[in-house]
Amino acid sequence: MATISKELETEAAQLRSAYSKGAIPPMRHIMEPTDIETAYAIQRINTRYWQSSGRKVVGRKIGLTAKAVQTQLGVDQPDYGVLYSDMEIDDGGLLAPSKCLQPKAEAEIALVLGRDLCSTNVSIETIIEATDYAVAAIEIVDSRIADWKITFADTVADNGSSAFFVLGQERHKLDGLDLYTCGMALEINGSVASLGAGAACLGHPLNAAAWLASTLGAMGEGLKKGAILLTGALGPMVALTPGDHVCARIGGIGKCEFTYAEDFK
């Protein structure tokens, strides 16, 4: 685990300022593209900062679950970021463009835990036993790195390039639910913009959830009852333009939607 230094504190502060002041250059000067220890150290600094500022952690997001994207970034594993309560958008609600820098949307399956999980070797069976329900979800990712010119280390340090998320209202128990072959269609303004399936997410969304729980367990961190897990994209992400209406439909699980527009009421 990387030692927290003044230099890392400075980099973490630069990332925080990017939320309001605009994207920053890639952080090549402080870490190599696959420097996982330094990247997560920066992420943890900002997690502590946001928590001390009053933000409430409600779960985790898993990223880089597509093998093609891992290959592109030169890694062989996913990454994760922290979800805060103020990142959730109501199903059917609005996301103001003024809150974003360069957002993209992707359809996912979210799991909500029914009990605590803290183990270094979490199996798919354990995830099934621990999950209360699954819902359709949209994650809005948004890099604080200019022009999305990210390495693996950049996106990890930047809290997994997380921004906002939407959860569907249909809740499904995992028993009998097909998360492997379920199809996904992400629509922008009524037209299909991205297609995918459950198998696109690390071979199975439950594989991603088991990886996350085991990884956090190895670090001495657990997942609490009620935690939201965004398990990863089921298909290509789509860049957003102000005015876009976004709807994710996942077979057997349901749908969720939002509009990328200002509220002028």
What domains can be seen in the chain, in order of their start residue? 6-260 (3.90.850.10)
The pLDDT confidence band at residue 12, using thresholds 50, 70 and 90, is: very high
Please report which residue ranges of the chain form alpha helices under DSSP H.
Answer: 6-21, 36-52, 67-73, 124-130, 152-157, 205-218
Q: Is residue 265 pLDDT above 60, yes or no?
A: no
Check if the beta carbon of residue 200 is closer than 8 Å to that of residue 235: yes
Q: Which of 2-6, 134-138, 249-253 has the lowest mean pLDDT?
A: 2-6
pLDDT of residue 51: 97
Query: What contacts 24+ positions apart, CB below 8 Å, involve 181-185?
Result: 182/109, 182/250, 182/251, 182/252, 182/253, 183/250, 183/251, 184/107, 184/234, 184/235, 184/248, 184/249, 184/250, 184/251, 185/107, 185/248, 185/249
**Type of residue at 154:** D
pLDDT of residue 3: 59
Mean pLDDT, range 246-259, rounded to an integer: 98
pLDDT of residue 72: 74
Question: 135, exposed or middle or buried, with CB in 10 Å at 0-12, 13-18, 19+?
Answer: buried
Q: Is residue 76 pLDDT above 90, yes or no?
A: no
Looking at residue 194, the DSSP 8-state letter turns out to be: E
